[in-house]
A and B are shown apart, each in its own frame.
Chain A
Amino acid sequence: MKPWHAALLSLLLLAGCKRETRQARLDPAVAEAMDSVATLPIGINGRPPPVLLAMGEPYRSNAYQLSQGKRLYAWFNCQGCHTDGGGGSAPALMDGWWRYGPDAVSIFLSIRDGRPNGMPAFRERLTTEQIWQLTGYLQSLGATSSTAATPGRNDSMQTRPGENRVPSMSRLPSPHEGGP
């Protein structure tokens, strides 16, 4: 085996580990640092907190964090407006169209600070870590392909294929064609 083979293999394996780690407790200092998003004056977008990049974006790629995000989605009644992601009284979350941009920071800001026309601010209802978990989950919901870390279906009535069966948006009309 050539050295670069070994390196590639160990890299793959490490990627596997990272995707599966279950970190229950976040250091309070890190949690605080994760809240420091440098926001543009218009409040739509911003620079992600450096600590998130340093941690390797666990909220997007780690199976446990994604499934925590999925739980929060149900627990905090996101369905109430967004339904199971297909959109109801609020925009769809799985069609690839994002009113404030598809990047993690805009989604994070939408949840944390709220948006005009009805999106409430969850700043005092969720911890920063939870908002990032939810953000990561929403990104996987609107992704064009699933990763091995994406959660599966829930043990409940099904309104759409499980997250790991995306892209499910092909089954949904885009907002320009008129929603349901």
Chain B
Amino acid sequence: MSEALEQRDLRDTALDEVLLESRLARTWHTPPGWVGFFTTVDHKRIAVRYIVTAFAFLLLGGVLALLMRLQLSRPEAGLIGPDLYNQIFTVHGSTMMFLFAVPVMEAVGVLLVPLMLGTRNIAFPRLNAFSYWIYLAGGLVLWVAFVLDVGPDVGWFAYVPLSGPQYSAGKRADIWAQMITFTEIAALAIAVEIVVTVLKQRAPGMSLDRIPLFVWAMFVTSFVVILAMPAVVVASTALILDRLVGTHFFNPAEGGDALLWQHLFWFFGHPEVYIIFLPAVGMISSILPTFVRRPIFGYLPLVLALIGTGILAFGLWVHHMFTTGLPRVGESFFTASSMAIAVPSGVQIFCWLATIWLGRPVWRVPFLYILAFFFTFVLGGLTGVMVASVPLDTQVHDTYFVVAHFHYVLVGGAVFPLLAAVTYWFSKMTGRMMSERLGRWSVALLFIGFNFTFFPMHILGLQGMPRRIYTYQADLPWGGMNLFVSLCSLALAAGFLLFVWNALRSARAGEAAGDNPWGAATLEWATSSPPPPYNFTRIPVVRSANPLWDDGGALPVASGLSVNRRELLITTTAEARPEARETSPRDSAWPFWAAIATTIMLVCSIFTPWAVVWGSIPVAVTLVGWFWPRGTPEDDS
């Protein structure tokens, strides 16, 4: 009797290392093959899947960019007609924003946050699996539609009335609006998981001032997601209602307002930029110390800068609307707030510079990406100050100047750090290192290709070239520079291809990595590469912000968790003192089926409002299956 109880409630204190590992492996095991593929709730497997999918969309979006550059390489080129071009630039923008940038940042968060916090899985792991399938479905909806010539053609911002019922015939705009719903559900799900994971699942001793900066960045980002995304869900739903049911949210003749769309969209759309950018600066703050061999300078100002950026992000949506004729006083306020965001960004730049100043650089590939980031992001940030000024914005708004500006901020400010992060944490995904030699080549190609492609666009914009034009006339003086830009974009594309090739090759045949190949300080390096399904054999205890540096390699551990069921340690919010043991759900195929049911409901709701009624029944069925107790040890707790 007591032996049976002991067997059921077996704790890790009772076992030695080898036995413990085999018991944990059995408990956290995911079946191999297709069953495991559809049922796994391991945050690492889902995150890697997410990252691979996002990079696939990056490549697809990049192909569209090259097609646009081909069409614009000479005046009045007849290669791509206006109808197809409008679809291409809409799908390019939507893919890059909704299917690449936001998901990939959240996916890196899903991969690293539990590892950096020293926990065994993310909070709500089934929701995490659901999030991936919904995201994949949303991406497929957009791309299948595009391939069938039903791609949205109203811009990634889909301004009404152009996207409304009168001026957008057919289902193209509806597909865009529903793609938004898919990706927002996916993003919101991850945001909730990360907030809970960060608040309740930190390793014992990891008080608020010892949280790695990347985790802080993901934490702030998740709040921005939770507050910003509902605005665009409301907007896109109102658009679908206008188009499908005949409501009048955006019809001025019946009391609606076309500008309402822009307010709702940019109330989401501007924070969206920070949803992409904040994780990227978190990556910089977490990678940089490793490559200058000293702790980050100014931990507290950096955290405050992250929070400040997150708050200010909601105060500057109007700077996308400076030419819509809003009252002057309001515009001046938004000029001030838009420029104020330069202050927290400045704080971060200065702290990083001080970190480099006080450290000793190690010239490895991730560090080179960080240098490329400095060069391009500071430039993009400063042109951001220019577009924040109302009078200047009236000249450069909706021109190639803005195209140049936001590519500097998003590629320079987010993609370069992301590539640094993939290179840096590659061993935690695959157990191998990426090739250093190919890495250097791709940094060089990307850096040179990017700057030569996008810097001339500033000048094109000032010379009067508007955005979103499928061609331009020969008497306008833009031909030469456009040809130059188009040629340089090939170098940029080559850089991306080389990076992907390097990643694919290294994943199979790269040099095997040890637990901590870079000699870094944070907890994800305290476990093997790649980590086991349960992440840590014993939960580490944290006594500083740089545990692996300050504790001399051997971390103290917490014990007492059950090994017969999936169990996590819950700690207090501020001090991270151990509080409770909590179970973590087992693998399940229900998230996959729930995502399928949701997809069917959302896709059919493009055609009939009744889909929401009838489609909710299968969704409810799958949710019942999802939560139905199965008599596993986890359910007994």
Q: In the bound complex, how far is the Cα of B254 from the Cα of A153, in angstroms?
A: 11
Q: Considering residues B161, B170, B242, B248, which has the most beta carbons from chain A within 10 angstroms of its beta carbon?
A: B170
A154–B165 touching, CB < 8 Å:
yes
Binding site secondary structure of chain B: loop
Q: Of B169, B250, B607, which contacts A67 at CB under 8 A? A: B169
Q: In the bound complex, how far is the Cα of B164 from the Cα of A152, in angstroms?
A: 9
With both chains docked as a complex, state the minimum distance between the C-beta of A132 and any C-beta of chain B, in angstroms. Answer: 16
Q: Of A20, A158, A165, which contacts B171 at CB under 8 A? A: A20
B246 is an interface residue with CB less than 8 A from chain A: yes
Query: Given A20-B172, A21-B149, A164-B246: A153 and B253 within 8 A (CB)?
Result: no
- Could you show 29 A-B contacts with beta carbons less than 8 Å apart? A17-B148, A19-B170, A20-B148, A20-B170, A20-B172, A22-B169, A63-B170, A64-B169, A66-B169, A67-B166, A67-B169, A148-B607, A151-B166, A152-B164, A152-B165, A152-B243, A153-B166, A153-B242, A154-B166, A155-B164, A155-B165, A155-B166, A155-B250, A156-B251, A157-B253, A158-B253, A161-B246, A162-B165, A164-B244
A121 is an interface residue with CB less than 8 A from chain B: no
Q: Interface digits, B161-205 against A, CB 8 Å rule (1 contact, 0 not)?
A: 100111101111000000000000000000000000000000000
B252–A155 touching, CB < 8 Å:
yes
With both chains docked as a complex, state the minimum distance between the C-beta of B174 and any C-beta of chain A, in angstroms. Answer: 10
With both chains docked as a complex, state the minimum distance between the C-beta of B481 and any C-beta of chain A, in angstroms. Answer: 30
Question: Residue on A with the closest CB to B175?
Answer: A20
With both chains docked as a complex, state the minimum distance between the C-beta of A164 and any C-beta of chain B, in angstroms. Answer: 7
**Docked complex: A60-89 residues within 8 A CB-CB of B:** 63-64, 66-67
A37 is an interface residue with CB less than 8 A from chain B: no
A149 is an interface residue with CB less than 8 A from chain B: yes
Q: Interface digits, A115-150 against B, CB 8 Å rule (1 contact, 0 not)?
A: 000000000000000000000000000000000110
Q: Of A13, A19, A157, which contacts B254 at CB under 8 A? A: A157
With both chains docked as a complex, state the minimum distance between the C-beta of B251 and any C-beta of chain A, in angstroms. Answer: 5
Q: In the bound complex, how far is the Cα of B470 from the Cα of A24, in angstroms?
A: 16
B169–A63 touching, CB < 8 Å:
yes
With both chains docked as a complex, state the minimum distance between the C-beta of A176 and any C-beta of chain B, in angstroms. Answer: 29
User: How many A residues, CB 8 Å from partner?
Assistant: 26
With both chains docked as a complex, state the minimum distance between the C-beta of B152 and any C-beta of chain A, in angstroms. Answer: 11
B607–A152 touching, CB < 8 Å:
no
B245–A165 touching, CB < 8 Å:
yes
A16–B166 touching, CB < 8 Å:
no
B579 is an interface residue with CB less than 8 A from chain A: no
A64–B170 touching, CB < 8 Å:
yes
**Docked complex: B482-498 residues within 8 A CB-CB of A:** none
With both chains docked as a complex, state the minimum distance between the C-beta of A141 and any C-beta of chain B, in angstroms. Answer: 15
A contact residues around B607 at 8 Å (CB): 148
**Docked complex: B202-254 residues within 8 A CB-CB of A:** 242-246, 248, 250-254
With both chains docked as a complex, state the minimum distance between the C-beta of B129 and any C-beta of chain A, in angstroms. Answer: 26
Q: In the bound complex, how far is the Cα of B167 from the Cα of A20, in angstroms?
A: 14
A contact residues around B252 at 8 Å (CB): 155
Q: Of A17, A153, A155, A165, which contacts B149 at CB under 8 A? A: A17
A contact residues around B148 at 8 Å (CB): 13, 16-17, 20
B contact residues around A162 at 8 Å (CB): 165, 246
B contact residues around A66 at 8 Å (CB): 169
Interchain residue pairs A-B with the least CB separation, the first 6: A152-B165, A63-B170, A67-B169, A162-B246, A63-B169, A20-B150
Question: Residue on A with the closest CB to B256?
Answer: A155
Question: Residue on B with the closest CB to A153?
Answer: B246
Q: Interface digits, B137-152 against A, CB 8 Å rule (1 contact, 0 not)?
A: 0000000000011100
B254–A152 touching, CB < 8 Å:
no
B161–A155 touching, CB < 8 Å:
yes
With both chains docked as a complex, state the minimum distance between the C-beta of A27 and any C-beta of chain B, in angstroms. Answer: 16
A152–B253 touching, CB < 8 Å:
no
A contact residues around B635 at 8 Å (CB): none
A contact residues around B170 at 8 Å (CB): 19-20, 63-64, 67, 149
With both chains docked as a complex, state the minimum distance between the C-beta of A161 and any C-beta of chain B, in angstroms. Answer: 6
B76 is an interface residue with CB less than 8 A from chain A: no
B contact residues around A154 at 8 Å (CB): 165-166
Q: Considering residues A154, A161, A165, which has the most beta carbons from chain B within 10 angstroms of its beta carbon?
A: A154
A contact residues around B9 at 8 Å (CB): none
Q: In the bound complex, how far is the Cα of B252 from the Cα of A152, in angstroms?
A: 16
Q: Of B150, B244, B253, which contacts A155 at CB under 8 A? A: B253
A156–B171 touching, CB < 8 Å:
no
B83 is an interface residue with CB less than 8 A from chain A: yes
Q: In the bound complex, how far is the Cα of B251 from the Cα of A156, in angstroms?
A: 7
A contact residues around B164 at 8 Å (CB): 152, 155
B contact residues around A22 at 8 Å (CB): 83, 169
Question: Residue on B with the closest CB to A161?
Answer: B246
B165–A153 touching, CB < 8 Å:
yes
Question: Residue on B with the closest CB to A23?
Answer: B83
B contact residues around A16 at 8 Å (CB): 148, 150
Query: Given A13-B148, A164-B246: A156 and B253 within 8 A (CB)?
Result: yes
Question: Residue on B with the closest CB to A63?
Answer: B170
With both chains docked as a complex, state the minimum distance between the C-beta of B86 and any C-beta of chain A, in angstroms. Answer: 10
